[in-house]
Structures are given as C-alpha cells and as structure tokens.
Structure 1
Amino acid sequence: MRVLFLVQGEGRGHLTQALSLEQILRTAGHEVIGAIVGVTSERDVPAFFSEKFAAPITPIFSPGLVYNAGTNELEPFKTTVQAIRYARPFWNSLKQVHAIIESQRPDVVVNFYEMLGGLTYALLRPSVPMVCIAHQYFAFHSNFQRPKRQWFYRQAFKINTRLTCFGAQELLALSFDKQPDEPSQRIRVVPPLLRQEITDLKPIDGNFLLAYVTQPGLKVELLKAHQQHPDIQMDAFHSGVNVPDDVIDATLTYHAIDGKRFLNFMSRCKAIVTTAGFESVCEAAYLGKPALMIPQPNHFEQACNAIDGQRAGVGVAADGFDLDQLLTYLPQHDPTVSVRFREWYAQGYFLFLAALNRATMPKRKPSDGFFRTRVRHLLRS
C-alpha cells in the first residue's frame, strides 16, 4: 500500500501522530511516499518532524490559527478574518494538493486535520480515497461531552472540523478509551497515536509535580500555588527560561523547553499540570501520571479534552493552576486507568491498518452537502 500524508503543521500534536502512523505502516511493510504539511510565512515545517520523517516533505501554505500574543488566548474572529484575507493563495494551495495527489497516485491519502485536505476533496474531487485522523472527530460522537455555554466557540470548532474532512471515507476519532463506532457518522473510534519515545520510557513513582507552562497567566498562578504549598516540590518547563535549570528556591525549579528532558521528567514525576492538549494528556496517561488539565482560554477543543479526560479517569479538569484541586484528586486516582489505557493503545496497530485497507476497497464516495457552492465561491473570489 502506498500512502500519502496531509498534516496540519500547527503545534506538535498532528505532526507527532503522523510520525507514529508512519512507523506503524513501515513496520507492516507499507510505503509512506510523502507528506504535505500546511505552513504559513511565520511557521515552517518543525525540525523535529523533518528530521524524523523518512519520506519527502512538501510544505504548502495553509492559514493558521491566531492567538493573542499577550494571553495566548485563541481568537476565532481574527482567525476567520485571516482565512478570508488569504482566500486566493489558499485556492492555489488546493490546486497544488490536487496536482500532487493525482501525479503521485497513492492508494490512500491520510489527512491529519489539515483543512487543505477537506477542501481539496470538496471542491476538486481527487480520485484517491482519503481517511481523516484526529481526536477532534470524536466531537461528532454521541458520547462526547461538551462544555456548557461557549456557543460561538462550539460552532466555530464544528465548522473548522467539518472543513477538514469533506469526502473522507472514514473519520478515525482518537479517543482516551474504547467507545462504539458510529458508521452513520463515518466515525471509527481508535486509540491515540503516541511517540515511540513515550512507549520506550520506564515510568517510576516520583515525589514532585511537573508543570508545562505556555501561558503568561499560568506562570503567575504557578507562583501563587507555590507560595501556598512551599513544601511541595515542583519542576516547571516554560518558554520564558533561557537556561536548562533556573532554581528559584529549594522546592521550585524552572527549566527551558526541551522535549527530551520533559519526557524524562514526566516519567519520574508524581503528577503533571498541563494545558488540555490531547497528546500531552495521553502521554501522561500512558506513563501512569495523573493530570491537572487546564484548557487555554477560549479554546473550545481543549475545554472538551479536559471534560473527556476527566470522564476517562486520566485526571481532573480545572479552570486554573489549582493545586488544592489536584492534591484532593490524587488519592482518588485509579492506577488501573493507565493499565486499561495501555491495553487500548496496543490495539491501534491493527485498527489503523484495517481502516486504511477498508479505504482502498471500491465503494461509493460519501456526499458532503455542506455549503460546497458557497465555499467554492469564497475561495475563487
């Protein structure tokens, strides 16, 4: 089987999922012939991906999300305005994607939540079947729990997610745990795709809390929590540190962002405090580390992840760096959750291969009657 990837280049999540699936496919004797990665003028293909991905990589322009530089809040309105402003170059990108698919003729295209994929299949109809993979597709599942209120952000999230998966044979919804498939929605529930670096680690029980701080406001909250609990050892990785280790006092140390060191700390910590990104929470669950999940402001997807992660028992959802909430939760955490999570993860090898094999079988293409004409007009204007 010859497979072509389409990958959203925003953040690490979808790129690390692509690396994980590439390993599965190569182990099974299949060929990944390349990856099309969505980039912007400010965001190129990350080095960690280009250095590890064995096949050719083609960067193609794709409008990214807009965050507030000061607070790190997602700004849906500015994101929408930016997408409209870049409509013409985006249309050229769709034609590039279509040309690559038709010239390389893979057996199947795997799309990791890149809008270039969904709109190319909606408007230009490539002849190669496509399968979409992302945790976001679990939002279409009947068992998915959503935060109350946030109507505007919920609608923006649903529209953006739908735009990534037009024309897909199946939506492979990554989930914390096993859930029933929903064929009427094209949903197949599958385990997370984790980095090999995670599965190679041997976790041990530690006596310190590990924090990953990306928002300026969270650093303030962390310091406040430390002052309230000065006896608790905390190590925090955040982007404002320029040295490997910045010792604040006997029980608080900041560390510069370093992926390899962070994983090492995660394997040895007692629990982790992080934003509610799906991959980071799954990594903690695999290593048996309870998580305090703090969604980024206005980030509907992370708000959903936090609720769903709490349902699955991998940690507790919080609005801020509430150390009391985490300390109250820890004695209640069920350690067998990690055992079940690993068992669920182990099924992924066969489930992903089965899904791609199904996609290559002749079948009628699904119909997505989701304002296709309006989208086509917008992109061509």
Structure 2
Amino acid sequence: MKYLFFVQTDGRGHMTQAITLKERLEKSGHSIVGLVVGSDKRKKLPAFFTEQFTCPFFDLESPKFLIRKNGKGIRIVASFFYTIYRLPIYLSAIKKVKKIINDLQPDAIVNFYEPLAGNYYHVFKDKRPMFCLGHQFFINHPAFKNPEINFLNKIFFRLYNYLTAGSRATKIALSFTEELDLPRKNLFVCPPLIREAIKNSSSSNQNFILAYILVSGYSEEIIAWSQKHPDYQVEAFWDKHEQAETHFGNNLTFHYLNGQKFIERLSSCSSYVTTGGFDSVCEAAYLQKNILMIPAQNHFEQKSNAADAKRAGIAISAKHFDISLIADKQTKTHHLAALQAFKKWVDDYDEKIINILEGKEAKRI
C-alpha cells in the first residue's frame, strides 16, 4: 500500500513515531509516497528527522500553540485568537494538501496529530482511510483518568483532537498499559512506537542524570538546580541550535537535539527528567529508567501524559524541575513490575499497528 504521512513537528515525539512507523511499513513491503509536516516557520526542523525521508517533502504552516514569555507553558486563549487571525493562511495550506493528495494518490493517510490532515478531511470529505496515531486519543478510553486542570483547557484539547481526527478516522490510541479496544468508537489501543535503536541499545546506569525539555524556559530551573548540587552530573537536550554543546559550570551540559546522541545518553543515564512529552518517557520506561515528568504550564496534553504515566506506575510528576526527587540512584519512582509490564506490552503487541493499517486487526477483535 501507498501511505502519505502528516506529522506535527512540535517537540520530538511525533517525528520519532513517524520515523519508526516508516521503517516498519517499508519492512512489510509498503511505501511512503510523501511527507507533509505542519511546522512553525520560525523553527528549524531537526536533521535526525528530515534525513530519514527520501520521499517528496512538503512543509506547510499549521496552527500552533503560542508559548508564554517565560518559555514554561502555552497561552491557550492567545493561541485561539492567533489561529483565527491566520485562518486564511491555514485554509490556503488545506487547499495545498488537496493538490498534494491528488498528485500522489496515496491509498491511505497516516496522521501523527497534525490538524492540517484532519481539517482536509472535514472540508473535502475524502473517502480514503485515515489513521490517526497518538496518546492524545486515549482520553476517550474509560481507563484514562483526567488530570486536574481548568475546564477551558479540557475543551480546547478535545476540540483539537476533533480537528485532528474527526469521527470517521480510525484512532490508534498509544497507551502505557494494555487495554481493551473499542471498535464501536473506532478506537484501538496500541503500545507506543519504540525505535529499533532503543530496543537494540544496551542499557546501563552511569553516574549522570539526563534531562530533555520541549521549551527552553525550563533550562533556568535545571541550571539553578545544578549550581546548588555540584556533586551531581547532569546532561540535557534542548532545541537551541546555535551550537552543539553549551556548558554551565563543571556539572551541566546542554546538547542540541541529536537523534543518535540522545539514544546513547538515554541508554546510559541513571535517571531521566523531562517535560510532559509521551514518546521519550516511553523510551526511558522501555530501558527501565527512573523517570520524573514536569508538564508545561497550561498544557493539558502534557498533564494528561504525566497523570497517565503515574496511573501506569512508571513515573512521578512535579510542578518544577526539582531533580532532587530522583537524584539519588536508590530512589525508585516506579514499581519494577509496572516497567516490566510496559516492556512486555510493547514487545508482545509490536505488530498491532501494522495489522490495523493493513486492515487485519478487525479479524483479531
């Protein structure tokens, strides 16, 4: 089959998912005929992502959340009005999507939480199957427990889910735990997409803590903590691309995001600290790491990820980068049984997503 990918490029997670699924589909004899990314023109797409695709590549401007001035959260209301203001640009992008699809003639669309794909289906009523992947769709499963957050943020999150997928799309809810499918809701629960490079890496516990931050505002908290705790070695990844490495004192190094280096450092760290992203937490859990999550302010998606990771027993969460919560290697933020169950869930059902995309999964329900 011929698949067209749509990828949201906020953070690293959806890009990593796309790379992993691309490799698995091609291994099964399918092809990726094109890649559409909804991007923020102010940000440079990382090489670890763009270098993995040789198919036609289309970079279109897409609705994005606005970051607070302190770099520690999102501005919900401002983001809404900014989207309205730039609506003509986004409508133009949707028309470009129609031309791309007409030119490439894919058999199916795979959407990694990019609203351009969902809105294209809402506007043009395309009959091709669309598969939407993300932990975000797990909020529609009864096993999900809502985090404490204001009502307005919840409404915006559910609206964003609808704009991304719609009612006809097959929703593939990535989950920390094995749960029942809900075929009547067109909702299928699958394990996270763990890269082969992670699965094949040799996990160890060296004497440093690894951090990854989606928004650079949290770097100040990491720097402050490292200055107060000079006996602890900390390495961190961020999206500042001015230089490959930035050093703060003798015990803290920030790296510009690099795929291979991230895998190497994640495999070797004693503990992992991050904002509320989903995929890197899954990779750390697969490697049986100690995990602390700090969801970005006003970010319902990240708060949901953190609450669900806590439900699954694989991580703890905090409001600030208090790395002391996991700095002691003897401190356990997880239950060993929960991490082992997570790894088994991933390994035992690794082909489930491919079966769904090929139309085979219905036979197993």
Q: TM-score, normalised by structure 1?
A: 0.85
Question: Whole-Å Cα distance in 1 between the matches of residues 51 and 216 of structure 2?
Answer: 30
- 1:39 deviates by 2.6
CA 1:73–1:149 in 2, change beyond 3 Å: closer, same or farther? closer
| Residue in 1 that maps onto 2:114 | 114
Distance of 2:98 and 2:214 partners within structure 1: 36
Query: Take 2:16 and 2:347, find their aligned partners in 1: how far apart are those partners?
Result: 17
Summarize the alignment of residues 293-372 of structure 1 with structure 2, pairs less than 5 Å apart.
293-326=293-326, 330-331=331-332, 333-358=334-359
Query: Which residue of structure 2 lines up, in the alignment, with residue 204 of structure 1?
Result: 204
1:123 Cα deviation after fit: 1.6
Which amino acid is the alignment partner of residue 90 of structure 1?
Y
Structure 1 residues 158 and 116, CA gap change in structure 2 (3 angstroms): same
Query: How many residues end up aligned between the 2 structures?
Result: 359
TM-aligned CA deviation for residue 32 of structure 1:
1.5
Alignment of 1:1-381 (within 5 A): 1-43=1-43, 45-213=45-213, 218-226=218-226, 229-238=229-238, 242=243, 244=245, 246=247, 248-249=249-250, 252-259=251-258, 260-326=260-326, 330-331=331-332, 333-358=334-359
> 1:104: how far off?
2.7
Please report how far the alpha carbon of residue 103 of structure 1 lies from its aligned counterpart in structure 2 after TM superposition.
3.6
Relative to structure 1, the CA distance from residue 115 to residue 349 in structure 2 (aligned partners, 3 Å threshold; closer, same or farther) is: same
What SS does structure 2 have at the residue aligned with 1:37? strand
Change (3 A) 1:207 1:41: closer
Instruction: Pick which of 182-191 and 303-312 moved more.
Output: 182-191
SS in structure 2 of the partner of residue 304 of structure 1 = helix
Give percent identity, aligned residues only: 33
1:366 aligned residue? none
Structure 1 residue 11: deviation in Å? Answer: 2.3
Q: Counterparts of 1:349 and 1:54 in 2: how far apart (Å)? A: 25
Task: Give the letter aligned to residue 140 of structure 1.
Answer: N
Deviation at 1:245, TM superposition (A): 6.1
- Distance of 1:297 and 1:70 partners within structure 2: 10
45-54 vs 137-146, greater mean Cα deviation: 45-54
For 1:336-359, what per-residue CA distance to the aligned partner results, in whole angstroms no more than 9, with x for missing partners? 433322222224542112211229
Whether the 8 Å CA contact 2:277–2:305 is kept in 1: the answer is yes
Is 111-120 or 209-218 further displaced after alignment? 209-218
C-alpha distance in structure 1 between counterparts of 2:342 and 2:5, whole Å: 26
Please, which moves more after superposition, 337-346 or 115-124? 337-346
C-alpha deviation, 1:97, in angstroms: 1.5
Query: Which region of structure 1 is more displaced relative to structure 2, 326-335 or 35-44?
Result: 326-335
User: Unmatched 5+ residue regions in structure 1?
Assistant: 362-381
Letter in 1 for 2:33: I
Q: 3-state DSSP class of the match of 1:72?
A: coil
**CA shift at 1:213, angstroms?**
4.3
Mark the runs of 5 or more structure 2 residues left unpaired by the alignment.
none
Quickly say closer, same or farther: Cα 1:232–1:44, change in 2 above 3 A: closer
Shift of 1:176: 1.1
Contact in 1 for aligned 2:46/2:257 (Cα 8 Å): no
**Structure 1 pair 36/56, CA: closer, same or farther in 2 (3 Å)?**
same
| Amino acid in the other structure paired with 2:344 | E
Whole-angstrom distance in 1 between the partners of 2:167 and 2:280: 30
User: Quick one: which amino acid aligns to residue 53 of structure 2?
Assistant: F
Q: CA deviation at 1:133?
A: 0.7
Q: 1:36 to 1:216 in 2, by over 3 A?
A: closer
On the 8 A contact 1:5/1:110 being kept in 2, the answer is: yes
1:295 Cα deviation after fit: 0.5
Deviates most, 224-233 or 290-299: 224-233
- The code of the aligned residue for 1:106 comes to P
Comparing 93-102 and 225-234, the one that deviates more: 225-234
| Root-mean-square deviation (Å) | 2.6
Give the distance between the partners of 2:102 and 2:239, measured in 1 at CA. 42
Map of 1:372 onto structure 2: none
Instruction: Give, in angstroms, the shift of residue 31 of structure 1.
Output: 1.5
8 Å CA contact 1:176, 1:309 repeated in 2: yes
